Amino acid sequence: MAVFFLLITPGPGVLSTAGVGAAYGFNPGIKYVFGLFLGTNLVALIVVSGLATVIFSFPYVRVVLLFLSSSYLIYLAIRIGFHGSDIRFLKSHLAPGVLQGFILQLINPKAYFVNLAFYSGFGFYPTSFVIEVLLKLLITNLIWIPIHFLWLYVGVLFYELPINRSSKLVVRIIMSLSLIFVVSLSIHSMLP
């Protein structure tokens, strides 16, 4: 249950997934989710290996990752919010894809916090660390995959709704502001 609630709470991954679905549709959204999937599993391996603990033991690394993730998420929020608008400096018809999803998860603080909480706690197979880790990877992916496809579907519903362009813009801007709100919460929680 703890893992379920850790994974379903809105974070940068699920909010950006809904935003990509709302701005670009289902097929580009699948590519983005696949990138998130690869990234989140790499983050899990980084956490399990202990590398995350070493990396986060340096305070400046946390600040740099926070800055990178916040900057990227704000950029992504702006792209989602203003996709298809006439604002010239945002004129990009390329949807975020596998690489963008992968990068987001690598710099996503929530991905590290969730994995640290899950893999360092909730022990249930004390006789084999490897079996426990493999089962935890399976459990997280069995929860993670449907949740992200559900959020993608929600975004795609907005994309495909027969509503006028200005209403779709409002929905995308609300999704973008939600993503920026999550970024601000992350920044607030990481600062002393």
- Would residue 6 count as lying in a domain? no
> Is the pLDDT confidence value at 6 over 70?
no
Q: pLDDT confidence of 60, banded at 50, 70, 90?
A: confident
* Other beta carbons less than 10 A from residue 2's beta carbon: 10
* Other beta carbons less than 10 A from residue 167's beta carbon: 11
State whether the Cα torsion 98-89-64-191 is positive or negative: negative
Q: pLDDT confidence of 91, banded at 50, 70, 90?
A: very low
pLDDT of 20: 87
State whether the Cα torsion 174-160-164-33 is positive or negative: positive
- Would residue 3 count as lying in a domain? no
- Would residue 92 count as lying in a domain? yes
- Would residue 125 count as lying in a domain? yes
pLDDT of 190: 62
Structure tokens at 164: 């006028």
- Would residue 39 count as lying in a domain? yes
Per-residue pLDDT tens over the stretch 65-88: 778 777 877 787 777 776 654 443
Place of tokens 């929860």: 143
- Would residue 1 count as lying in a domain? no
Whole-angstrom Cα Rg for the chain: 17
- Would residue 176 count as lying in a domain? yes
> Is the pLDDT confidence value at 3 over 80?
no
State whether the Cα torsion 100-57-191-148 is positive or negative: positive
CA separation for the pair 135, 175 (Å, rounded): 34
> Is the pLDDT confidence value at 153 over 70?
yes
Q: pLDDT confidence of 138, banded at 50, 70, 90?
A: very high
Question: How many domains does the chain fold into?
Answer: 1
- Would residue 30 count as lying in a domain? yes
Q: What is the mean pLDDT of the chain?
A: 81
Q: Which residues, in sequence order, are CB contacts of 185 under 8 Å at separation 6+?
A: none
pLDDT of 145: 94
pTM of the shown model: 0.78
Q: pLDDT confidence of 92, banded at 50, 70, 90?
A: low
Structure tokens at 181: 């709100």
pLDDT of 85: 47
Q: Which amino acid is at 103?
A: I
Structure tokens at 44: 């899990």
Mean pLDDT on 101-110: 86
Q: pLDDT confidence of 107, banded at 50, 70, 90?
A: confident
Structure tokens at 116: 């640290």
Segments forming the whole domain that contains residue 17:
13-190
